[in-house]
């Protein structure tokens, strides 16, 4: 066994994989070659030092900071609008009847009364319309992602390039949001344009946490009315 073979076998020895048939020759070389003997001894010593948990240890308070961060980040999963149970009718719609009070003010003629009732009817119709819109339109938070990144990350979570989003999105891939359950919801053209503009304006070019206000969907894509960048920890 020469020095090159010894060092190759040293790797096997350190990993506990040395074949029994190689052990004698390895040992003979070790006794005969001072350089290799020293190399083995120092590599073993080096491994012991790097394995020592006193070194490279988490600094004081890091574990607590991690838990605080997780406590904020591990809130209940934020389902996209379409997956949430129907929202209760906002209180603004319920408040509309209270406005009846102004109808009686000075309304002592038939004409004024008719106008008042017509106005009241319009307010009610408007309130119902707004209530319906608000019940179906809503806000969704999640990771901004394009369809390529989404597919790549799904299959290989540990192998996702950092600037993939902006490259893919600007080259025509579908842009959307990944909800807390890991499902992808594509944006319409308006949302896509807003998303790309937001990422280009940001110092980050990869996934960003966003909140989108969406209008009632008329198709499979989310109809994005407004898009804002945010912090997942703050989006609760």
Partner 1 sequence: MPESGTAVEDDLALVRRACSGDREAFYTLVSRYERGLFRSALAITRNQADAEEVVQETFLRAYEHLNQFRAEAKFQTWLTQIALNTARMKLRKAHAGLWESLDEPRATEDGFLPRDVAEWRENPEQRLGRVEIETILHHALQGLPPGYREVVALRDIQMLSTQETADVLGMSVANVKTRLLRARLQLRERLAGPLGKRA
Task: Compute the half-sphere exposure of residue 116: CA atoms within 13 Å on the CB side of its CA.
Answer: 15
User: Could you say whether residue 34 binds partner 1 (CB under 8 A)?
Assistant: yes
For the bound state, the minimum distance from the C-beta of residue 162 to partner 1, rounded and expressed in Å, comes to: 4
Parallel, antiparallel or unpaired: strands 223-229 and 175-178: unpaired
Query: Which tokens hold the place of 103?
Result: 């109808």
Tell me the per-residue interface mask from 46 to 75 with partner 1, x by CB under 8 A, - otherwise: xx-xxx-xxxxxxx--xx-xxx-xx--xx-
Query: Which tokens hold the place of 168?
Result: 């893919």
Q: Which of residues 188-207 bind partner 1 (CB under 8 A)?
A: 206
For residues 54 and 25, the answer to whether their CB atoms sit within 8 Å is no
Nearest to 223 by CA among 180, 172, 177: 177
Parallel, antiparallel or unpaired: strands 175-178 and 138-146: antiparallel
Query: Which tokens hold the place of 69?
Result: 């961060």
Among 80, 176, 191, 232, binds partner 1 (CB under 8 A): 232
Q: Which of residues 149-178 bind partner 1 (CB under 8 A)?
A: 153-154, 157-160, 162
Query: Which tokens hold the place of 21?
Result: 């048939």
Nearest to 187 by CA among 234, 236, 142, 222: 222
For residues 198 and 210, the answer to whether their CB atoms sit within 8 Å is yes
Choose between 103 and 233: whose C-beta lies nearer to partner 1.
233
Choose between 73 and 129: whose C-beta lies nearer to partner 1.
73
Count of residues touching partner 1 (by CB under 8 A): 52
Which residues lie below 8 Å from residue 29, measured CB to CB, with a gap of 6+? 1, 2, 3, 5, 6, 36
Choose between 108 and 231: whose C-beta lies nearer to partner 1.
231
Choose between 191 and 232: whose C-beta lies nearer to partner 1.
232
Among 19, 20, 21, 45, binds partner 1 (CB under 8 A): 45
For residues 218 and 224, the answer to whether their CB atoms sit within 8 Å is no
User: Could you say whether residue 32 binds partner 1 (CB under 8 A)?
Assistant: no
d(Cα 132, Cα 212) in Å, to the nearest integer? 19
User: Could you say whether residue 226 binds partner 1 (CB under 8 A)?
Assistant: no
Among 42, 92, 109, 170, binds partner 1 (CB under 8 A): 42
User: Could you say whether residue 19 binds partner 1 (CB under 8 A)?
Assistant: no
Nearest to 79 by CA among 30, 140, 37, 25: 140
User: Could you say whether residue 234 binds partner 1 (CB under 8 A)?
Assistant: no
Choose between 167 and 190: whose C-beta lies nearer to partner 1.
167
Q: Which residues bind partner 1 (CB under 8 A)?
A: 3-4, 7-8, 10-12, 14-15, 17, 34-35, 38-39, 41-43, 45-47, 49-51, 53-59, 62-63, 65-67, 69-70, 73-74, 143, 153-154, 157-160, 162, 180-182, 206, 232
């Amino acid at each position: 066994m020469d020095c090159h073979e010894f060092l190759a076998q040293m790797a096997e020895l350190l990993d506990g994989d040395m074949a029994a048939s190689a052990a004698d020759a390895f040992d003979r070389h070790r006794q005969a070659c001072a350089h290799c003997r020293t190399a083995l001894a120092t590599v073993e010593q080096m491994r012991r030092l790097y394995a020592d948990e006193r070194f490279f240890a988490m600094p004081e308070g890091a574990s607590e900071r991690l838990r605080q961060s997780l406590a904020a980040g591990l809130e209940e999963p934020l389902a996209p609008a379409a997956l949430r149970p129907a929202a209760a009718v906002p209180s603004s719609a319920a408040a509309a009847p209270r406005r009846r009070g102004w109808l009686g003010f000075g309304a002592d003629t038939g004409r004024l009364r008719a106008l008042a009732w017509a106005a009241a009817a319009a307010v009610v119709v408007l309130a119902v319309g707004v209530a319906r819109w608000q019940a179906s339109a809503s806000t969704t938070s999640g990771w901004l992602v394009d369809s390529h990144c989404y597919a790549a990350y799904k299959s290989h979570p540990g192998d996702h390039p950092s600037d993939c989003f902006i490259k893919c999105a600007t080259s025509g891939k579908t842009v959307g949001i990944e909800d807390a359950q890991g499902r992808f919801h594509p944006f319409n053209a308006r949302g896509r344009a807003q998303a790309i503009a937001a990422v280009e304006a940001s110092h980050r070019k990869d996934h960003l946490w966003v909140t989108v206000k969406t209008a009632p969907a008329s198709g499979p894509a989310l109809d994005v009315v407004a898009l804002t960048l945010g912090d997942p920890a703050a989006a609760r």
